[in-house]
C-alpha cells in the first residue's frame, strides 16, 4: 500500500507549449506532438535548452558567452549534422540579432576543420533556406540577411595571444608524423586548417579571432567524443584568453544536438589540458 499523500504532478501541455514559444520566440510544429505526450520531459528540456541558448527568462547573469556566439555554435553544429530542417531557423535568429553571413561562414569554416567540409555545404543550404519565404520556421527579418554587422563581445575577444601556444596544424605530433609520410598532404592540409583557425597571422582579416574559432572547434570535437583533440584546441583557446568558463559554456551549446554525454567529454579534455 502506498502511504504517500503526494498528489500527482499535473502539467498543462498547451500552457507549456505557449510558454515555450514565448521563451524561444517560435517552435517547430513537430515538437508539439512530443510535448503533448510527455509534457514534464518538455519542461525539463526547456530548462536545459533555454539555459544554454539563453531563451527569454531562462538565462542567468553569470553566463559569459554571448547569445550570438551560442547561436553561431548551435547553427554550425546543426549544419555539421546535416540538419537542413532546423539550421535555417537558427540562421534567421542570427540575422535578427544583426549577425551577417560572413560571420556565419567563418564559424562554419572553423567547425568544418574538425567535422568535415560538408559542414560548409549544409551551412550554405541553411542560409539559402532562411532567405526563402516558403521556409516557415522562424521570423525572417525585413530585408533578409543584415548588411551591417551588429557588434557582440566575441568579435573583439580572443584576438591576441596572451600565453605561449604552439601554432599551426604541423605543431601536432600526429601531423608531424603525417608530414614524414606524405609531406604534400601535410602542407596542403596545414594551409587550409591554419587559415580556418587563424593560425597564419591573418587576424586583421578575420571577424572571428582565434579564440572564438577554437571554441567552435572544441564544441564540435567534444560532440564527437574526441578528448585528446579537444584538449589540444583548449590549450590554444586558453592561450588566446578564453577561460575555462568560456570553454565549458561553448561545449554546453551543443547539448541539444549531441546530448548530455558531450559535457563529460569536455571536462575530461579540460583536465587533460590542465585547465581544471
Write out the H or E segment, with its range, that includes residue 199: none
**pLDDT for the residue numbered 3:** 47
Q: Give how far Cα 7 sits from Cα of 37, 41, 167, Å.
A: 20, 18, 60
Write out the H or E segment, with its range, that includes residue 132: none
**Which residues does 244 contact at the CB level (< 8 Å), separation at least 6?**
238, 270, 275, 276
| Domain 157-272 bears CATH identifier 1.20.1290.10 | yes
How far apart are alpha carbons 60 and 13 in whole angstroms? Answer: 25
Among candidates 31, 126, 121, which has minimal Cα distance to 72? Answer: 126
Give the max Cα distance, the chain. 74
State if pTM tops 0.85: yes
Q: Treating both helix axes as pointing N-terminal to C-terminal, what angle do 244-252 and 227-239 enclose, rounded to 10 degrees?
A: 130
Write out the H or E segment, with its range, that includes residue 113: helix 101-115
How far apart are alpha carbons 61 and 129 in whole angstroms? Answer: 34
Residue ranges of the chain assigned to CATH 1.20.1290.10: 157-272
pLDDT tens by residue, the chain, 276 residues:
444 566 558 899 999 999 999 999 999 999 999 999 999 999 999 999 999 999 998 999 999 999 999 999 999 999 999 999 999 999 999 999 999 999 999 999 999 999 999 999 999 999 999 999 999 999 999 999 999 999 999 999 999 999 998 899 999 999 999 999 999 999 999 999 999 999 978 888 999 999 999 999 999 999 999 999 999 999 999 999 999 999 999 999 999 999 999 999 999 999 999 999
How far apart are alpha carbons 25 and 21 in whole angstroms? Answer: 5
Amino acid at each position: 500500500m502506498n502511504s504517500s499523500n503526494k498528489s500527482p504532478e499535473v502539467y498543462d501541455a498547451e500552457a507549456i507549449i505557449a510558454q515555450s514559444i514565448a521563451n524561444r520566440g517560435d517552435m517547430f510544429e513537430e515538437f508539439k506532438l512530443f510535448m503533448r505526450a510527455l509534457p514534464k520531459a518538455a519542461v525539463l528540456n526547456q530548462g536545459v535548452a533555454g539555459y544554454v541558448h539563453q531563451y527569454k527568462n531562462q538565462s542567468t547573469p553569470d553566463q559569459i558567452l554571448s547569445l550570438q556566439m551560442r547561436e553561431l555554435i548551435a547553427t554550425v553544429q546543426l549544419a555539421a549534422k546535416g540538419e537542413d530542417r532546423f539550421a535555417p531557423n537558427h540562421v534567421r535568429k542570427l540575422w535578427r540579432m544583426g549577425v551577417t553571413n560572413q560571420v556565419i561562414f567563418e564559424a562554419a569554416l572553423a567547425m568544418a576543420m574538425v567535422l568535415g567540409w560538408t559542414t560548409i555545404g549544409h551551412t550554405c543550404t541553411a542560409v539559402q533556406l532562411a532567405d526563402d519565404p516558403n521556409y516557415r520556421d522562424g521570423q525572417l527579418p525585413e530585408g533578409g540577411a543584415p548588411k551591417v554587422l551588429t557588434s557582440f563581445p566575441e568579435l573583439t575577444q580572443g584576438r591576441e595571444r596572451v600565453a605561449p601556444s604552439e601554432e599551426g596544424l604541423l605543431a601536432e605530433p600526429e601531423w608531424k608524423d603525417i608530414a614524414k609520410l606524405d609531406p604534400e598532404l601535410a602542407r596542403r592540409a596545414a594551409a587550409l586548417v591554419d587559415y580556418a583557425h587563424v593560425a597564419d597571422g591573418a587576424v586583421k582579416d578575420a571577424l572571428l579571432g582565434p579564440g572564438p574559432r577554437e571554441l567552435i572547434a572544441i564544441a564540435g570535437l567534444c560532440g564527437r567524443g574526441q578528448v585528446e583533440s579537444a584538449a589540444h584546441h583548449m590549450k590554444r583557446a586558453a592561450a588566446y584568453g578564453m577561460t575555462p568558463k568560456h570553454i565549458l559554456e561553448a561545449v554546453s551549446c551543443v547539448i541539444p544536438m549531441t546530448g548530455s554525454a558531450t559535457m563529460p567529454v569536455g571536462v575530461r579534455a579540460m583536465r587533460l589540458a590542465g585547465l581544471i
